[in-house]
Structure 1
Amino acid sequence: MSEGSGSFRPERRGEKVSLGHYLAVVGGKQLPFWWRSKFLAVPDDFSLLPTEQLWQTHDELTKSLHTKRSGNEPTQQAGKSSLLDSKVELTRRIYRSCTLCPLMCRTDRLNGETGRCGLKADARVFREGLLVSEEPFIVPTYELFLTGCNMRCKFCQAWEGVVRTDLGFKLTGSKLASTVERKSKRGALNIHFVGGEPTVNLLAVLVSLKSLKVPLPIVWNTNLFVTDEAMKLLDGVVDLFVADFKFGNDECAWEIGGVESYVATVQSNLLKASRIASLVIRHLVMPGHIECCLVPVVSWVAQTLPKVTFHLMLNYVPDWRAWSDKALSQRLSESERQMAKAIVKSTGLKRVLISE
């Protein structure tokens, strides 16, 4: 999620290159992926299929979302079994031995067990509202902050919702449908799931989407520390990934975020995200972590995904456990801010946002 708010200044024009699908949905030229998934038929007995066969059916239908042009009409009557239903079923099966993220807790969340994320089957919203302090092409955005996370970043500003997963209200289809309808009338451009980490709440989100009647695009504000299975389930649901690339090396990821094998996982998922939806990559510059984190992050993005919109965030504020870390307990110095801007400028990235 966004660790801070501030003003946004486009450094270059041309977001349409990396935001094409999302902007087309907002402009009414395409339907959201999740909406189209509600009308792609699966066999009525899909829930009886072996998992491997169900994945095959799911993958073939998901691929068709990208190979067929999006029309203005659904391909079947509502109420029939759909691709979205198959995603619900596959996620429910994963919850019996959870492998949505690389921690591979394998807890039975359907029967009340919890892993690192602290979640069972339900999702809870600990904060929500129509916000205007995000990227300019996202706002106004209807943002839902979900409890629970698979990372434990020392500086997390949403830490209370991460460690207290019982906060807020239960996410349900009826609640989401009525609220989205109201927020849409007030100008919301999208439905924006944040955390914590929304992916570890995937089952409740998918079930809730089945009840929605307003085809707004889905924005997925994520750490992308998730598995291949999770990415396949998000394909055909998410219209815009707003993804944090937090750490430039695995040592900092472990020391600050509490996870291993971070860099390779996130880089792989960023590539996948860029192929299946629109993508924005965020990097929150941490004090004392210019060379070890910012430099490798921005270098990789410039070399690998040069057309993607990159959001350089210079609005770091220490919170939660950051006070125990000498560097993280400080704000960015002016020299660090100027250095970060110069580094990004030197890479030649063409679509850059800066928040200060």
Structure 2
Amino acid sequence: MLSVGLERYRQINLGNAVAKFQIAKRIGLDFDSEKTSDLDHLLKIHTEAKKEFKEIKEALDSDSVDKEKFMERSAKFSFLDLKIKILEKMLESCHFCERRCEVNRYSEIGFCKCSDKSYFSSEFLHMGEEPELIPSHTIFFNRCTFRCVFCQNYDIVYTDDYPVNEADVARIVDLRYRQGSRNVNFVGGNPDQHAHTILKILMNVESNVPVVWNSNMYHSSELAEIIEDVVDVWLGDFKYGDDKCALKYSKVKNYWEIITRNFKRAEKNGELLIRHLVMPGHIECCTEKIVAWVARNLNNPRFNLMFQYYPTYKAYDYPEIARRLRGDEMREAMKIAKKYDFDLVR
């Protein structure tokens, strides 16, 4: 079975399609941003503007609108500006993720330990991502909405490194694009809690570069409503098939319902590449259940069955995962994937 995903992403790489954020920032709105700050009113305007966005995107994709002329457009207050304004308002009672701390991030911090300011750890051209993504311009944001006991990036999750200056980071994105990046890949940690900052970065990016959202997929539906019009590829982790495993190892509740909801929505509004890190002792409860669900509920997305697990951080406090995968576990995971005729990343 051939993958049906990532075709639009490839067309952006070839210069035959327009990255979604570049469309969003060229759709002008007749709106006085200084007079309106009520979130419900902003969301109502957003709902109407979203219809125009979809129409223009479809017209561009079908070549019924000239792409070069469209890229010459500018807007005093754009659809992307509106999204930023909404996210800044959401920070006052934060529900970017499904923990729904509802703290005012301008003066408090919630579970993720993020204020309204964003920090990043590093950025570089990454050659270790999936083949269709490399070279990928990865930007590693600090902090996370999970507390994975086996986290391989724990040094990023629990520290704040370099404060983000949106204009400066945008210039780096453009530089990396000229150096050969095929995408800008927002990762971490996790990008979700930095959505307001990321959209400000994109507002300043000139390149027609696809946006990859490299996420744990625990974001709220409200956040998805805003960011799905700028994300070209959802690079999502599907960690657990059992809520008990998710709670035990990542301290997250209601994992299965939230993650499956978000993957379904992501596929409808973008292109999808799923990662599943196979864990020792979790073939039946997690790997098999995840593979079966993806096969039955999604349209054969690219799927990366990952065997890179190794015990680190606090994993040694959990004897059942304090080891690497055995050969028979890897073979069993591959057997399950082949059973459902998956388009596996090689």
**Interval of TM-score (by shorter of Structure 1 and Structure 2):** over 0.9
2:138 is matched with 143
Cα displacement (A) at 1:314: 1.1
**Is residue 19 of structure 2 the alignment partner of residue 32 of structure 1?**
yes
**TM-score (structure 1 length as normaliser):** 0.91
Cα displacement (A) at 1:76: 7.5
Cα displacement (A) at 1:158: 0.9
Query: Match of 1:55, as an amino acid?
Result: L
Question: Which has the higher mean CA deviation after the structures are superposed, 19-28 or 114-123?
Answer: 19-28
In structure 1, stretches of 5+ residues that fail to align are: 1-11
CA displacement 1:96-132 (0-9 Å, x = unmatched): 1101111111111122x11111110111110210011
The structure 1 segments of at least 4 consecutive aligned residues displaced by more than 6 Å after TM superposition are none
**Is residue 117 of structure 2 the alignment partner of residue 129 of structure 1?**
no
2:103 is matched with 107
Separation of aligned partners in 1, 2:146 and 2:110: 12
Match of 2:226 among 216, 233, 237: 233
Does the 8 A contact of 1:173 with 1:212 survive in 2?
no
Cα displacement (A) at 1:47: 4.9
For 2:93, what is the secondary structure of its paired residue?
A: coil
| Structure-to-structure mapping, 1:1-356, within 5 angstroms | 14-15=2-3, 17-49=4-36, 50-67=38-55, 68-70=58-60, 71=65, 72=67, 73-74=69-70, 77-111=73-107, 113-164=108-159, 166-167=160-161, 169-349=162-342, 351-354=343-346
Separation of aligned partners in 2, 1:325 and 1:345: 30
For 1:213, what is the secondary structure of its paired residue?
A: coil
Cα displacement (A) at 1:303: 0.3
Separation of aligned partners in 2, 1:286 and 1:87: 37
Cα displacement (A) at 1:343: 0.8
For 1:272, what is the secondary structure of its paired residue?
A: helix
Does the 8 A contact of 1:40 with 1:75 survive in 2?
no
Separation of aligned partners in 1, 2:113 and 2:129: 27
Cα displacement (A) at 1:87: 0.6
Cα displacement (A) at 1:295: 0.8
For 2:186, what is the secondary structure of its paired residue?
A: strand
For 1:344, what is the secondary structure of its paired residue?
A: helix
Cα displacement (A) at 1:57: 1.9
**TM-score (structure 2 length as normaliser):** 0.94
Percent identity among equivalent residues? 30
Equivalenced residue count is 337
Does the 8 A contact of 2:94 with 2:101 survive in 1?
yes
Does the 8 A contact of 1:47 with 1:89 survive in 2?
no
Query: Match of 2:109, as an amino acid?
Result: T
Query: Match of 1:197, as an amino acid?
Result: N
- How large is the RMSD of aligned CA atoms in angstroms? 1.5
